[in-house]
Amino acid sequence: MPIDLSTSAGVTLALLPEIILTVWSLGLLLFIGWRHSDPDAQRGVGWWTLAGLVAALGAVMWLWTRGAAPVGLPLMLALDGFRWATATVFLLGAIAATVLGIGYLSRERILVPEFYPLILFATIGMLLMGGAADLLMVFLGLELMSLAVYVLAGIRRRSPASAEAALKYFLLGAFASGFLLYGIALVYGATGTTNLYTIAFQVADGTVATRPMLGIGIALLLVGFGFKVSAVPFHMWAPDVYDGAPTPVTAFMAAAVKAAGFAALMRVALVAFGDASAAWQTTVWWLAVLTMAVGNVVALAQRRLKRMLAYSSIAHAGYLLVAVAAATPAGGAAFVFYALAYTAMTMGAFAVLAAVGRDGESEVLVDDLDGLAGRRPWVAFALTVFMLSLLGFPGTAGFIGKWLILTSAVGAGQIPLAVVLVLASVVSAGYYLPVVMAMYMKPATDDAVADRTLLVGGARAVVAAAVVVLLLLGVWPNRALDVARDAGRDLAPASGIVVGSP
């Protein structure tokens, strides 16, 4: 289905998922202004938000299956498999966060119905980031997503920890956005354009090394993206923000928000600067090594489960940076598959954490899970699947995802980086397996923990769906691998595109 992006009708069709979410969120804001202090109305807003996300997902699937493609070069938006695949991941993460939020806000007596429109606004930003064909669209999507998530981090207004998380995230995020915007300005100054495809033609001659303005612009872009994906040394905000934010928000940030940052980074790096990979590949190589090393080593020292998962997310950012450093469509395919698997296991792990911890998930220790399998066998089984998948254990989607990243690195000649990834995964067993051992191999020390650990309603559905996805993709990944490879091929350097072909 060819779409002419130079016409208003074509742009409207290309932006159909984002338009649905925008209209939906504005309508919900009007309703919230009318019934702001009604707990039942807040719950209804949550279910309507879920309906809007499902409608947007339906629009994505319709455009994807109809083979939507641009006439000529994309202007501001890309219409390709990578956009639709990443949009599906973002929307699934938002759906899971919304479902978790419905029960969590009611349980914790948090009466803030704006929570749900903020989820929608953040999701719109993520969709724009994943489908951006222009650096300005990347920036607009990133700022829309970030502003919404800043507020979501501090949505528990009476919690000092939540307020601290929001303030830290806002201050450091604004600082990082300045780096990103300055990098965009320098790239524009060096190439005369912000369109990713036009930039690719500008750098295809291999003269980046002789153009200092362009090199500095690429470096500043990496700094901005490094903050958004919590890569070391730009990660210092992540543990405190993840720890202080409400658990559904933490899950949303650790999974969907991180995936959006990587989707934009992957598209910018491979499409715009794929032919100039020598200018950024070494930097990303070292970022990946540092992120894997610091994330895993510091996670070993954590006894609080939520903080351990926060540092674990930093380590997984390092794994995804390996896919970026490969600088090949195979790396893009590995990212798409791993983003789906990582969203499922992260959402599931935080859903279980929210059930274990009442009125203070950040205080839940690994030792609090002692003997949980005896009283709550299904909860223990689900958390075991999530821990093993995060570790990369065979039979889970996490294993297939890491295998794809490894093969992309090896195929690109990045053998030392692949070795570091394997060693980092071995180190991660030191903090994932003790969680499993505590549930199955230690006697219960506090029956109250098991008594209050109940997965009910939406949380049960999220956990069950995550377990099914991880086990199914772990033993039968064929169809998902085909989709990921098709999406990865769309990230080939844009200089090879024939202008005028749909």
pLDDT for 32-58, tens place per residue?
A: 888 777 778 888 888 999 999 999 999
First to last CA, the chain: 9
Write down the pLDDT at residue 7: 79
> What single DSSP character describes residue 194?
-
Q: Is 373 exposed, middle or buried (0-12, 13-18, 19+ CB in 10 A)?
A: buried
Q: Distance between CA 403 and CA 411 in Å, rounded?
A: 12
Write down the pLDDT at residue 468: 94
3 sits in which H/E element: strand 2-3
Q: Distance between CA 18 and CA 125 in Å, rounded?
A: 9
Q: Is residue 121 part of a domain?
A: yes
Write down the pLDDT at residue 93: 94
More confident call, 455 vs 166: 166
Predicted confidence (pLDDT) at residue 501 exceeds the cutoff of 60: no
Predicted confidence (pLDDT) at residue 129 exceeds the cutoff of 70: yes
Summarised one tens digit per residue, pLDDT across range 214-260 is: 889 999 999 999 998 989 888 888 888 888 888 899 999 999 999 99
Task: Give the count of alpha carbons within 13 A of 184, CB side only.
Answer: 20
How large is the average pLDDT for residues 323-327? 90
69 φ/ψ angles, rounded to the nearest 5 degrees: -145, 150
Q: Dihedral sign, CA of 330, 335, 336, 342?
A: positive
Q: Is residue 501 part of a domain?
A: no
Predicted confidence (pLDDT) at residue 495 exceeds the cutoff of 70: no
Write down the pLDDT at residue 108: 79
Q: Is residue 470 part of a domain?
A: yes
- Residue 425: give the domain boundaries: 2-496
pLDDT band at 456 (very low <50, low <70, confident <90, very high): low
Show the tokens assigned to 429: 């067993």
Chain mean pLDDT for the chain: 87
Q: Is residue 145 part of a domain?
A: yes
Summarised one tens digit per residue, pLDDT across range 78-109 is: 888 899 999 999 999 999 999 998 888 888 78
Ramachandran area for residue 395 (φ above 0: left; ψ -120 to 50: alpha; else beta): left
Q: Distance between CA 454 and CA 450 in Å, rounded?
A: 8
Give the total number of structural domains in the chain. 1
List all residues 6 or more positions away from 202 whose beta carbon is below 8 Å from its beta carbon.
190, 191, 192, 193
Look at residues 464, 445, 447 and name the one whose alpha carbon lies nearest to residue 455: 464
Write down the pLDDT at residue 494: 57
pLDDT band at 274 (very low <50, low <70, confident <90, very high): confident
More confident call, 456 vs 368: 368
Q: Distance between CA 101 and CA 116 in Å, rounded?
A: 8
> What single DSSP character describes residue 2?
E
Q: Distance between CA 241 and CA 164 in Å, rounded?
A: 8
Q: Is residue 122 part of a domain?
A: yes
Q: Which residues pair with 70 in a beta bridge?
A: 3
pTM above 0.85, yes or no: yes
Number of Cβ atoms within 10 Å of the Cβ of 380: 23
380 φ/ψ angles, rounded to the nearest 5 degrees: -65, -40
Q: Say which residue the tokens 């390092």 belong to.
A: 318
How large is the average pLDDT for residues 448-475? 82
pLDDT band at 500 (very low <50, low <70, confident <90, very high): very low
Q: Is residue 502 part of a domain?
A: no
pLDDT band at 493 (very low <50, low <70, confident <90, very high): low
Q: What is the residue-wise DSSP string for 190-215?
A: HHS--BHHHHHHHHTTS-GGG-HHHH
Predicted confidence (pLDDT) at residue 492 exceeds the cutoff of 80: no
How large is the average pLDDT for residues 171-184? 90
Query: Is 304 strand, coil or helix?
Result: strand
Q: Say which residue the tokens 């070292």 belong to.
A: 286
How large is the average pLDDT for residues 393-402? 92
Cis peptide before 2 (omega within 30 of 0): no
Q: Is residue 482 part of a domain?
A: yes
Summarised one tens digit per residue, pLDDT across range 416-447 is: 999 999 999 999 999 999 999 988 888 777 66
Q: Distance between CA 50 and CA 98 in Å, rounded?
A: 7
Summarised one tens digit per residue, pLDDT across range 343-353 is: 999 999 998 88
Write down the pLDDT at residue 12: 85
Percent of the chain past pLDDT 70, that is, above it, reads: 93
Write down the pLDDT at residue 206: 66
Q: Is residue 213 part of a domain?
A: yes
69 sits in which H/E element: strand 69-70
